[in-house]
Structure 1
């Protein structure tokens, strides 16, 4: 199926998930996960009305951002793990970084954002115990959040997670629920408002929406299998 047809189907599913959970459609951002996808397909998604795109790799993202720089209303998010030596490029090119997960990275983002006189928006990535993935362990989340609050050029807007993969999306629900609870705990403990939960991908985004996701990262269901 075409990107346009896929987009229409995803929109219907998002709307129904919102209705089931008593939410408004505008509460959920459809972030097109465009890793490995060519500029042509990104434009197909753009002309379907999608304005948020997420890249996993800094360099690949920069090439697309440069190629599409005339499209001023595109919001570019970095959704992959970030190495400190790529931070200066990430801060320059990306509106939001979803994968803030350690103090060393926070320091580098603060340094680079300060030099660019920018407030870098970001999400803290939480790891639910999978060693192969990025993210701060939940028991260290509050400490990291507290550390970030001491910085002047980083604004944390919420949490992100990539839970373990399960064939049945219902099996992922407890992880989404847990992430929402962690966000609410931070809001309560630090008296802040964190508007975003970035969770849910092609196979489980409806469950994520039911559990409070405000950003769903959809790649395969939109673009088809990765090239």
Structure 2
């Protein structure tokens, strides 16, 4: 069952890449594994899905210990409290949800003590929704500039959770907005940002057409989930 679900999603990613004139290798499929039991992750790993994203620190730590024997590329994709940073830095390759300077300070401090440079994505509130985290679109340039002073933190791209729309095509403007923000940062600061983390089960094909390099797929892979 796991291999079938993975193949279906993989086929759709390949079709979206072809439609957009992109190489399949340009898009990372991340299994959004909140509430997914370790046994199921193990099953999907055996089918060839190696990158997973967790939303809650305590849940992630339990899974990390239980799945230590697998070479999983773990990402943290949820809201991150500053006092939880120390628990995950040695365990994740990428944090998707940097949304405030106090969090940047803590990540930088903890990364420095570990002798590493932590890669992060800036979460952008592309829909200007009060219920969602993320930097406001108009603040992105100044926020990015302030992050340049932190030597143990490296911004490698942007992430967004756009407003939900029944028709995925109606989400396209938000993905386009994030891509243009990335391009603006690259131009303004003469840099290259490798990643756009955008698109989930409902709208990932449109996100790929607009330049997503990481798609965060949960329901399509793992089915509907309830609490842990």
- Alignment TM-score, normalising by the size of structure 2: 0.97
Deviations 1:35-87 (A, max 9, x none): 00001110121112111000001111111111111112x10000001111111
Pairwise CA distance, 1:5: 1.3
Distance (Å, rounded) in 2 between the aligned partners of 1:3 and 1:220: 12
The answer to whether 1:209 aligns with 2:208 is yes
Count of residue pairs brought into register by the alignment? 225
SS in 1 for 2:201: coil
Alpha-carbon separation, structure 1, partners of 2:199 and 2:225: 18
Where 1:92 maps in the other structure, the secondary structure is coil
Corresponding residue of 1:33: 32
Match of 1:130 in 2: 129
The residue aligned with 2:81 is: 83
The two structures have a TM-score, normalised by structure 1, of: 0.97
Match of 1:96 among 94, 97, 113: 94
| Secondary structure class of the residue paired with 2:165 | coil
CA distance in 2, matches of 1:92, 1:131: 32
The alpha-carbon deviation at position 218 of structure 1 amounts to 0.1
C-alpha deviation, 1:94, in angstroms: 1.4
Give me the whole-angstrom Cα distance separating, in 1, the residues matched to 2:150 and 2:13: 36
Aligned to 2:220: 221
Q: CA deviation at 1:161?
A: 0.1
Question: Equivalent residue for 2:168?
Answer: 169
Structure 1: gaps spanning 5 or more residues: none
Task: Report what 1:108 is aligned to.
Answer: 106
